[in-house]
Amino acid sequence: MARSTRESILTAAAELMRRRGYAGVAMKDIADASGAPIGSLYHHFRGGKAQIAREALANAGAAYGLLIPAVVDAYTDLGEAVQAIFDQAADDMEGTAFANMCPVGSVAAEVADTVEELRQTAGAVFEGWIAGGTAYFVARGVDERRARDLTTAVIGGLEGAFLLARTLRSVEPLRAAGRVLAPQYRGMALAAPVPEPAAAPS
């Protein structure tokens, strides 16, 4: 769990924002959920609410960027892998009362035209996901252009399906996206996964 006050604030903020977005979360809510008083929030984050959101998004973005490779690692057929990504997302969502999986999508929709600072942070996260996913598929033998389009479409497809699923309270949009996207990649072999270099412990 989060040990320092600073970490517990970021964890609480990410958890609240993935459900309620940016404007829907008050500093008092973050204080209550993290156990820290309001003053501590401003002590650790001079930049206030926007800075907390920035760091929470960056943290969550880094963590969630590892999920697609983690799921795909187990597969040798690209079509089955794509199907698995969406099925896994559907299963997860059913276990979380249809909360968004991660705060980046929830917040990005809200701030893309209003809080330039956060738009840039969310944009950097999306770019990192696309670059990371593309590099991963290339390492497993997929052609670069195909890898980039596939990664972009999968991430966009996931975000859109999450939006429909949360709004309709049904995982059907996630399953439908998998059924539509997967077939055309069926039969395309994936090379053996390259083991991740262990990240340096902070």
Reference 49, options 20, 27, 29; nearest CA is 27
Give the contact letters, 30-69, x = binds to DNA (CB under 7 A), - = no. ------xxxxx-xxx---xxx-------------------
Using CB under 7 A as the binding criterion, the count of chain residues that bind DNA stands at 17
- The only residue of 113, 199, 200, 202 in contact with a copy of itself, by rule CB under 8 A: 113
Helix (H, G, I), strand (E, B) or coil at 56: helix
Which residue lies nearer to a copy of itself by CB, 116 or 196?
Answer: 116
Phi, psi of 115 (to 5 degrees): -120, 90
The item of a copy of itself, DNA, none sharing an interface with residue 138, based on CB under 5 to 8 Å by kind, is: none
- The only residue of 122, 142, 147, 171 in contact with a copy of itself, by rule CB under 8 A: 122
The item of DNA, a copy of itself, none sharing an interface with residue 83, based on CB under 5 to 8 Å by kind, is: none
- Asked if residues 78 and 190 have their Cβ atoms less than 8 Å apart, the reply is yes
CA distances from 107 to 16, 25, 78, 100 (A): 11, 11, 31, 10
Reference 25, options 14, 39, 35, 41; nearest CA is 14
Our finding on whether 2 is near DNA (CB under 7 A) is no
Helix (H, G, I), strand (E, B) or coil at 199: coil
Rounded Cα–Cα distance for residues 110 and 119 (Å): 9
Q: How far is the CB of 23 from DNA (least distance, A)?
A: 7
* Footprint on this chain of a copy of itself (rule: CB under 8 A): 19-21, 23-24, 98-100, 105-106, 108-110, 112-114, 119, 122-123, 126-127, 148-150, 152-153, 155-164, 166-169, 172-173, 176-177, 179-181, 183-184
